[in-house]
Structures are given as C-alpha cells and as structure tokens.
Amino acid sequence: MKSLLKFITCGSVDDGKSTLIGHMLYDAKLLFADQERALELDSRLGSRGGKIDYSLLLDGLLAEREQGITIDVAYRYFTTDHRSFIVADTPGHEEYTRNMAVGASFADLAVILVDATKGVITQTKRHARICSLMGIKHLVLAVNKMDLVDFDQTKFAAIKEDFFQTTAEFNLQSIQVIPVSATEGDNITKKSQNTPWYEGLPLLSYLENVDVHNTDEAKHFMMPIQRVCRPDHTFRGFQGQIEAGSIAVGDELTTLPSREKAKVKRILVTDQDRDSAHAGQPVTIQLDREVDVSRGCVFTKDSHIKEADSFSATILWMDDSMLAPGKNYLVKVGTKVLPGTLTAILHKIDVNTGNTVPADRIVKNELAKCEFSLSDNIVFDSFEQYKSIGGFILIDRVTNMTSACGVIDQALQNSDRLVKLDTEITREVRAQQKGQNPLTLWFTGSVSDKSPLAKEVEKRLVSAGYHTMLLENGQGESARRMVEAAKWMNDAGLIALVSIDSPYDNDREIARDILGKDYIEVYVNEPLAGSSSTNDATGNPVIEIDTNKYSIEEAANVVAKQIMKYLIN
C-alpha cells in the first residue's frame, strides 16, 4: 500500500504557488485528457498571451481568475508510482491568512514559496511561523522565479541563509531548499540544466521520498467521541475517528473526564464488525458495560492525558475585530465545545523576529500568547502528542465565525482569576487623572532588606503626592500572579511596588515580558550587617542600591530620588 503525504503550498501573494502545483501535475502527466484540453482553452482567454496558465488548475473561483490570486484553499488528490498525495493550495494574501491556517492544520509538510526577486518577506515569515504553530515538522523552501534572476547561485544562497535564520527556533525535523521556476518548469519534476550547482532532487522526487514520520498509529489509543448511537434499547455505541493508536476487541479503555474503565465488546467500521481498528478510521465502539459518556468525551489508553478549566495558549487571531481581555467565546477542543473567556493577553509574538512584545489588544493576523478560563473542564494534551485535543478554535458567539485557532501550552491552576473587561476608559486616561506615569518597581536581591526598603520608598512617593500600591508575597506561581496584579495596578494608573523573592532570572523575565516599559528593577545589592542573602546579581538592573553603605531610610531616599525622573507624566 502506498504511503500518503498531506502537504500545503504557502507563501506570499503572487509567489507562484498555484502555478507550481499546476505545472507539477501537468508535467507529471497526472491530468485527465479533458482537464488538459480545458486548461489549454482557458489559457487562451487569460492574461498570459496564449501560454499555458498552470494556476488555472487550482484557482477555480471567478474572483481568483479575475484578480490572479488564490482566495480559498484548493485541495487536489493525485498519485504517482511511489506515493499518494493530498495537496492544499493556500492563499498568500494577508487578508486570507485564516484560509492558509486551515490548510496548515491538516498537513504533514509545507512547501513555502519565495519570490527570488524579493527574498524572504514578512508574509513568508508569518506563514512559516503558522506552519510551526500547526505542528508541521517538515518544510520545503521553493525559491521560485529563479529565471528572473538568471539562476544566480549567490542570490539563492542568500535567501536560503535568511530562511534558516528565520526558522532557527522552530522545532523542525527537516528543511529542504530547492531553486525552481514555476512557469518554466525548472526543478519541478526533473533536474534543470539551468542550475548545475544544485545537487538535490527536483521537487516532485523529493516529495515522493521524504519521510514525514507519521507515528499516530504508534501512540496510545485516543478517540474523541463525536456521537452516541442508540438506534434501539439493545444497542449503545460511541462513534468517532481514531486519532491515535489502535484498538481491539477485549481492550480496556478509560473514559475521560469520568475516568471510568470498560472493555471493548464490539468494533464496527461502517456497518461491518472488525476485530481491530487503527488511527484514521471512523468507528463505532460498543463497551461491555454502561458508562457516563457523551459527545466531547474521550476514549483513551493513555493515563497521562490532562484535564483543566483554564489554560495558556498560543493563538493566531483571524477576526476583523480586535481581541481584548474579558471577551467571551465558544472554545472547541476536539469534539467538545464550551463557553470560555479570554482572561489575559500575555504578549504578542513578532512574526519577523519571534520576540515577545507587550500588548493588551490583538489585531487580525497577529500571533499572541493568551490565557483562557472555561465554564467546565476540558480534556487535552500537548499538540505534538495529540493534535485533535492539543489544538482548539475560538468561535464568535454572535456570528458563529471562527475567530482564532491555537495550541494549548499548559494548564493553569488559578481558574478563579478575575477578568478585566474592555472599557473606553484607558490606562492613559487613568494616569492623566493621577498626574503620574504608572510603573512597577520590582525589588529583588537581599531577602531581608528589600521589603523594608520597598515600604520606605512607598512612604516617600505617597508624601510626594503619588498614588501607589505595595505588593508582597512568596515565589514561583505566586510571582506570576504578582506580575499580573502589578500590570492591573499599572493599567489603573497606579505605581506598583513589588517586593518578592525572585532569585531566578526566569521569574524576572516573565515580569519584563508582561510589564514591558513599565518594569523597573531595583536590585538590593548587599544585606545589612547580620542579615543574609541567597540571591545572585541580576543583569543590568535599572537601580542598584548597596544597603551595606546606607541605612534603610537613607537607601529609600536614594531610590526615591532616582525614580522621580520616570514618574513625571
């Protein structure tokens, strides 16, 4: 039986994605005679002066042919002597990024096209990052339009290096870079004489031979329940598609979230009894006893699958309206749909650099890390382990449109957290009312000295007419909650003074990411006589104070004087 490769073509608008796949199908003789004739006739009426326009094989919408761009995802199925393929030709225009994400969600490999005359641009990087987000581990960079740069090896090498830098942080298993010309056919189905310096396989040959390591069948059995089938009182079956692993009559299953155990009494594929079934097959399973299972529950043999009613996630926002904390959506994980609330936006992700950027609003096509709270527990696991319960979509409760897609990063413990609502009164308005710049002073260093120092600094700020709030707690998860509390204080126009044990740079890095320019670190360098410290020096604190040289009161005067320049509104 031939193996199946599911792949997408993506990249910026007009990089030649549809033309590439169309030319591949044409040259490989994978079209029916009537399709070839229709292509030749349609090309005569097109914009290429009678030359064959291979993109017409995939761009079927009238608007696509009129504009010469891809709008919707076009799926094509074809088979060569070595392999079967499903290809999704996705749009490159930024306006249709949501359609590209839909295509990426099903694929094992992505062919990303780059225009050799333009190189790697922002949309190329966005598509590469979305592919990584969707769990694609194998990329092919097709450097297209090489004929327009005279098949320049130096230009090709520069684009290759740029792309490698872009994807360096991605968790990929393979990257292949191929110089091609989608219109002329170079290196698509056979090696081109125009690129003697290229030693790799042409695109189709590479796709026929690449090993994508689809290990779904080797994983523990897992199946989300789509439907409970009860045609009469004698039969109760549970229907769904096996997402991973295999199952056989007599196997013991665990039902989630009820965590009841039962054995498989009967397996039906369509209407035929089977002794076993494997990943990818839709089945009906009958158990040997009654269990509490409905749509959205999960059958599994994996005891490590988790449950939670709140989680952090990385999302791609696809709605025209802005995303802001406090908004309610339907959250669909696997076959389960629950009401949920966006409780926090931790940061945006710069598609060019991968760096985190502080944000309290997300606009269309931006990537962000957020936190959500649900009305009930959902069953989930890592996206890498089980795609169907590791990813999710947000559904607008008014329009029923898909507003975002994302992958779950981790469960959160603080499911009873408060949610800040979106209002017209901004932090700038609140800060102006108080006549100050809201900041967070993060006191770190000496265990025994930082809290007394923070209290004395607050006294001086209040005496000077500033509005403050002092926060003090332990470390670890408490540190994260303190950062979020400090951000809320800043949004209210207040100056937050945080005295907390944060000996590890990871805790302070979280604070820097979330608070951004509002974060000022006060490093208490030396303990007073008789006290002790377990904290190492931090990297380049904004304010450093040696309490071995000053009393607490004197040190507070020094710190307060240094921060005054940051507080003037």
Active site (catalytic) residues? 502
Exposure on the CB side of residue 458, measured as CA atoms within 13 A: 22
| Structure-token pair, residue 500 | 């907390």
Contact 172, 355 (CB under 8 A): no
Reduced to 3 states, what is the DSSP secondary structure of residue 208? helix
Tell me phi and psi for residue 533, to 5 degrees.
Answer: -145, 140
Measure the CA–CA gap between 358 and 348, rounded to whole angstroms.
6
| CA proximity to 372, closest of 321, 397, 322, 338 | 338
Residues 6+ apart with CB under 8 A from 400: none
C-alpha span between 42 and 54 (Å, rounded): 10
Residue with tokens 């914009």: 47
178, 143 contact by CB (below 8 A): yes
Q: What is the DSSP letter of 483?
A: H
Q: Is 530 left (phi over 0), alpha (psi -120 to 50) or beta?
A: left
Structure letter (DSSP) for residue 143: E
Longest Cα–Cα distance of the chain, Å, equals 91
DSSP secondary structure code for residue 474 in this structure: -
Given 3-state DSSP classes, what are the helix, strand and coil percentages for the chain, each rounded to the nearest 5?
A: 25, 35, 40
- In contact, 235 and 172? CB cutoff 8 Å: no
CA torsion, points 337, 338, 342, 347, in degrees to nearest 10? -40
Determine the residue type at 234.
Answer: T
Question: Measured in whole angstroms, how far is the alpha carbon of residue 134 from the centre of its chain?
Answer: 7
Q: Distance between CA 94 and CA 100 in Å, rounded?
A: 9
CB-based contact 257:374 (threshold 8 Å): no
Is the backbone peptide bond immediately before 257 cis, with ω within 30 degrees of 0? yes
